Structure formats: structure tokens, C-alpha cells
Chain A
Amino acid sequence: MNDHDFEKIMAYADQELEPDQVADVEKLLAEDTEARDFLARLRESDQLISGGLDSILDEPVPQRLIDAARGQSAESSSESDTGSGQSARVVEFPKKPAFSRWAYATAASVTLLVAAGAFILSPGDSRQGTLAEALNEALEQTPSGSIHGQPDDTVQVMPVATFQTAEAGICRQFAAQVQGQQTVGLACRSGQGQWQIRAEKILAEGENGQSYAPASGGSGPVADALSDLRGGEPLSAGQEQSLISDGWE
């Protein structure tokens, strides 16, 4: 009996073998006590594990979970409207720019908490092109916490934090003001100075721009995108600066 034999017996127990392999294993089981013991213990331990956990199936399900599944919990009721990103919503734009309210977010290790009441623009909106263009420049060159653009510019961008992700390489969280609208999002470098927006959310008027949370601990589309891309903790200012200096290579 070797590892291969044990693995075959395991696959036999899990009904994963082809018919000819089944015959081989059954022959082994008929001839070898160790093989039979292994199979018996495997089934016994599987039963113990599943039996212990199965007791949970008989437990009453807490109401908060039922509410969450129905989209009625406090958190999801504030987020679910924005989650699909499919439908265009009527957005009441801020009457005056409130750019300064996030300008003090200078630490690379913090990011805007995406809170209730924000909206996503419909695909194909012309502002996306304007934003994308400004992002390429800003995210390529600007350290987190510094603002790219002048107060009178159509678009101002402030990178907020930088992440190394497993799925998309370098990604940066940003806050921007586009034609008076505040927006936050995540963009990943796709090479040669190009940054692709992976998540974006427009802050609604009155939204508390002073709510901050670590990027990896927040919720909402930006944090979801970061999680999907398997991003870790934000890079330190030093790590980020050295990447900017080296052209992100």
C-alpha cells in the first residue's frame, strides 16, 4: 500500500472512479486488511464530521439572516440599489462643489468609506471618458493623498491608496471630482500608462465624505472589487513612491 493506493481508495469512497478502477480497488480491498481499515476509518470520520455539522440544519435560522437574504437588513438596504449597476438613476447633483471635504484625506492607508445613497452612472456616459483620461495621468504619477488638477479643472483626482492584487496587478483607489460630482472608485493599471476603472461610485449630496475606513475593511462595490481581485493591505507610502518612480514596473 502506498499513497497512490490510499488516494484511489479515497476516490472509490467518493464514487469518483471509472469502472475499471473500481474493480482494481475492490480487488485491493478484498485482499488487503490495511485497505479495508483505511476505507472504514475514512467513512467513519466523514460521518462524524458531517454528523456534527448536520445538527445545524435543525437549528432555527436567526431572523437577521432571513432579513439579510431578502435584502432587508440595514446594511444591504443601503447598498443593494447600487449593486447591480444596471439601471440609470436620477442623481441630484450637489449644488456646489464640496471638493474640500475630502481633500484632507492625505494618508495613503485610508480610503473613503462608500456609504448609503450613492449612485452609479449608466454605461456610456460621456463623463466616463473625461474621467478615464484624467485618471490615466493622475494615477500614473500622483502619490496617494495628493490632488492632481487645479480647482478650476473639469476633473480633479486624488489617489487614495495603492494595492497589489493577485488578479490585476497594481490597483489604486481614487476619489475624484468630475463636473462638480464627487466620485470614488478603483482602477487597475493595464500597462503603458493606461488605467482601467474596475469599480466606481458617485457620492450623493449630503453623503458624509468624512467617513473613512481602511480599504480592505470597507463595504460596497469598491471593497468588493478589491476583494474579487484578491488585493491585500494598502502599500506603504515608501513602496508606492518607489513604484511611481520606476513607472510601476
Chain B
Amino acid sequence: MSEDISEQLVSLLPKLRRFATGLTGNLSDADDLVQQSCEKALRKQHQWQPGTRLDSWMYRIIQTTWIDQKRRQRSDTVSLDAEAVPETRDPRSEKAAENQNMLDRVSQVLKLLPEEQRVIMLLIAVEGRSYQEVSDMLELPKGTVMSRLYRARSRVQAELGSSDGPGQGSEHYGEKTQ
């Protein structure tokens, strides 16, 4: 079983990196997080039930590992200010630079969300999971998943609206969700 899990994990790595980047805000921290999470998963693989989704199990491990890290670091809390995000830009090509720009911008917006909203936003808007799957995965009532998702999206839209310029109607999301 060990080999099966390992090869499945290898094939999941791109998605796990994407999810972890959404949580951490940059690829370097995301890779550290994914590495730790893979090591943890292999140590605990007897807890994974064959027939259930390995990626869901890994998302949960990544999320709890990330929360643990944040908890340990809380004494020297990182500023939520967007300027903390900049990553080394990839000089290889315009396309790479463009991707990096987009990633930076997305990371900045996601960093504004509380952890409990960010993970739900990522699982539903990026990973395409259903409300019920996320509810099961995070052991939260479905209504809580929905309300956190709504608050997260409202914040994201307000932020994108204000940075885009036009910001059509973005104001009411911020007010409505307080």
C-alpha cells in the first residue's frame, strides 16, 4: 500500500502545491509545507481509508500542518500587509513574469482573509469541491461553510473592485459582511 500511496502522492503534488500556495501566500513556503505534509502523511498512512479521496485527506493534513505552524509563529505575527508578499521574480520569460504577477496579486488578496475563510475559498473556488465535501473535510456544519465562503468572496470582490478601479458596487459587500 505504501508504494501506491507514494505514487498517488507524487501525482497530486502540483495540486497540493497550488493549494498550499493559496494558504501560505508564496511558493517557497508552500513547498516546505507540502514536504512536511507528505512526510506526515506517510507516517500516518494507516489512518487513510482506501476508497476515500487521497487528495481530500492531504488537503486536511496540509491545512492542519499550516495552522500548527501559524500557531507556533503567533508570537512573531507576520503583518497581513500585502507588501509582505513579494516573491523573487522569474526572469525567464514574459509569460513567467506575468504568471508571477498574477500569483502575487492573488496571494495579496488571499492574505487578507482569515485562515478559516481562506481555506474554504480555496477548496471551493479553486479546487472545485462541493459545500458538503468541504463540510465533511473540515468537520464544519454546511451552513458555516457557506457563510464563511460568502464572507470570503465578499472580501475578495471588495478588494479586487477597489484595486481594479471601477469597483462597481463593491462597497456593499464590505458593509454587508461586517
A contact residues vs B (CB 8 Å cutoff): 3, 6-7, 10-11, 14, 16, 34, 37-38, 41-42, 44-46, 48-59, 61-62, 64-66, 68-71, 73, 75-76, 79-80, 82-86, 216-217, 219-221, 224, 227-228, 232
Q: A53 and B106: CB pair below 8 A? A: yes
B140 interface hit (Cβ, 8 Å):
no
Known: A7-B146, A49-B125. A68 touches B39 (CB 8 A): yes
A-B contact pairs, 27 of them (CB 8 A): A10-B146, A10-B153, A41-B170, A45-B157, A45-B160, A49-B22, A49-B125, A49-B126, A49-B156, A52-B105, A53-B106, A55-B103, A56-B17, A56-B27, A57-B18, A65-B13, A65-B17, A65-B35, A65-B38, A69-B13, A70-B6, A75-B39, A80-B39, A82-B43, A84-B45, A219-B39, A227-B64
Bound-complex Cα distance A224 to B106 (A): 31
Chain B contacts for A11, CB-based, 8 A? 131, 146
- Is B171 close to A, CB under 8 A? no
A52 and B14 within 8 A (CB): no
Q: Specify which chain B residues have a CB less than 8 angstroms from the CB of A80 in the assembled complex.
A: 39, 42-43
Asked if B119 is at the interface of the complex by the 8 Å CB criterion, the answer is no
B21/A84 in contact, CB under 8 A: no
Contact A16 B38 (CB under 8 A): no
Q: Let me know if A16 and B130 touch, CB within 8 A.
A: yes
Residues of B within 8 A of A71 (CB): 2, 6, 42
Contact between chains at A79 and B39 (CB < 8 Å)? yes
Bound complex: CA of A221 vs CA of B31, how far in Å? Answer: 22
Given A14-B131, A66-B13, A76-B43, A34-B169 contact (CB < 8 Å): yes
In the complex, A50→B68 CA distance in Å? Answer: 25
* A46 and B125 contacting across the interface, CB-CB below 8 Å: yes
Is B176 an interface position by the 8 A CB rule?
Answer: yes
